[in-house]
A and B are shown apart, each in its own frame.
Chain A
Amino acid sequence: SQTIHQWPATLVQPVGSPLSLECTVEGTSNPNLYWYRQAAGRGLQLLFYSVGIGQISSEVPQNLSASRPQDRQFILSSKKLLLSDSGFYLCAWRGWGYDYGYTFGSGTRLTVV
């Protein structure tokens, strides 16, 4: 069966520090991968999606970037964090075809101080 791993679970980082969040998927190949952010009291905001290695589409211009160095690995990064980057970051994958729902990871709670 397919599983998705996301770490770390919580992170407290100072303003201006770098960020690297990792997401890996097991039990599937060539998945569509997504990064979402959920700020306090707000809905899910799509940040990036990827259909394959090295292919990244950005939905929102911001201080963040994403990379997909391997088929089942998706990384979210920042060179310098802002206070506004605080939030709950979620990785998700979807199999091919429209019938599939998204499978989300357990999320990373990021607090920028």
Chain B
Amino acid sequence: SQKIEQNSEALNIQEGKTATLTCNYTNYSPAYLQWYRQDPGRGPVFLLLIRENEKEKRKERLKVTFDTTLKQSLFHITASQPADSATYLCAPYSGGGADGLTFGKGTHLIIQP
């Protein structure tokens, strides 16, 4: 069956450092992969989408990589700030229709001042 794995333990990073979150998937051949941010009590917010033929994508302090051989995506936040503290969800998508995304359980990121 399809499986998405994200670090289940909270990730503590010191302010100013780069935070790196991992998303591994099995039994998927995603056409693209999305990353979302979720704050407590709120709905997820879309951050970035990367296609299978893109190795890397950037948006301001965010960078996403996508390795279809390793079946892995890495999500980086550079110059991290306490305001970046949240849960980050990945969602690989095989495409082909309007059926909904399946999300990983997310990694809780804590940026320590």
Contacts and interface: CB of A to CB of B under 8 A. Distances in A.
11 contacts: A43-B105, A46-B101, A46-B102, A59-B99, A101-B47, A102-B46, A104-B43, A104-B45, A105-B43, A107-B42, A107-B43
B105 to A, nearest CB: 4
Contact of A57 (B42, B49, B99, B104): B99
Contacts of B106: 43
Interface of A: 32, 34, 36, 42-44, 46, 49, 51, 57, 59, 88, 90, 92, 94, 98-107, 109
Interface residues of B, dominant DSSP: loop
Nearest to B105: A43
Interface residues of A, dominant DSSP: strand
A43 B98 contact: no
Given A44-B103, A49-B100, A101-B34, A90 B95 contact: no
Nearest to A42: B105
B56 to A, nearest CB: 17
A105 B45 CA distance: 10
Contacts of B43: 90, 92, 104-107
Q: Which among A32, A101, A104, A109 has the highest number of chain B CB atoms within 10 Å?
A: A101
Contacts of A46: 100-102
Interface string B88-101: 01000101001111
Given A59-B99, A104-B43, 5 more contacts: A43-B89, A49-B99, A99-B49, A100-B49, A102-B36
